[in-house]
Amino acid sequence: MRYQDFIAEAKGLITGGDAIKSLATTHENPDFRRWRHHAENLVREVTAHGYRLPGSFKSDLRAYRAMHPGASFPANANALEKDIGDSLIELRFIVDHYDKYGEPVMTQLVQQAQAGPATAPHVELAAPEKVSIAWLAKNVSVGFWVKVVSVGIGLVLLGAAVGQTEPFKSIVQWFKTNWPF
């Protein structure tokens, strides 16, 4: 889907939404239900194609009806008018943003997928004859060293904590008195 096609359909949805908003109707109106289905699917489709919309479109989170049991027709009509108004504000913002700034950027993942796989050759690291601290320092990432130091500190702290407990002290005392060495 091209973004220009999305904008053209969004403009048609704005016109259709204005017409439905002007009617005294409820969420059960088939024209409204078609409008909502089309609007939500259109936004889902354009975002699935990787376009990052400049604003949100929260139609799927709206009820478009009064949320209390046994609501009257006027209460449902007012709720529908308010929620359609909110959805139209969001659609107008998206269209106005396009008119002012043009097509939005695509999400980074979609851009990478369209660019294709990286062309840098894969280079295997040759195994050394001898693994030394110097070799590790040159060939292992900083994140690895941070993890090693963290685990080491954790083990020392754990040992210090366990060494202070009474059960551990009694085990050490038993070994001191009963061990033949």
Give the pLDDT of residue 114: 59
Question: From the DSSP assignment, how many helices (H) and strands (E) are in the chain?
Answer: 7, 0
**3-state SS, residue 174:** helix
Give the pLDDT of residue 103: 87
Task: Say how far apart CA 137 and CA 142 lie, in whole Å.
Answer: 9
Give the pLDDT of residue 145: 86
pLDDT tens for each residue of 55-106: 888 988 999 999 888 999 999 999 999 999 999 999 999 999 999 988 887 7
The list of the chain residues with pLDDT below 50 reads none
Do 74 and 10 touch, CB atoms closer than 8 A? Answer: no
Which of 58, 52, 56 is CA-nearest to residue 103? 52
Give the pLDDT of residue 10: 95
Amino acid at residue number 30: P
Q: What are the b/e assignments for 55-81, b being 16+ CB within 10 Å?
A: eebebeebebbbeeeeeeeeebbbbbb
Give the pLDDT of residue 154: 92
Give the pLDDT of residue 32: 95
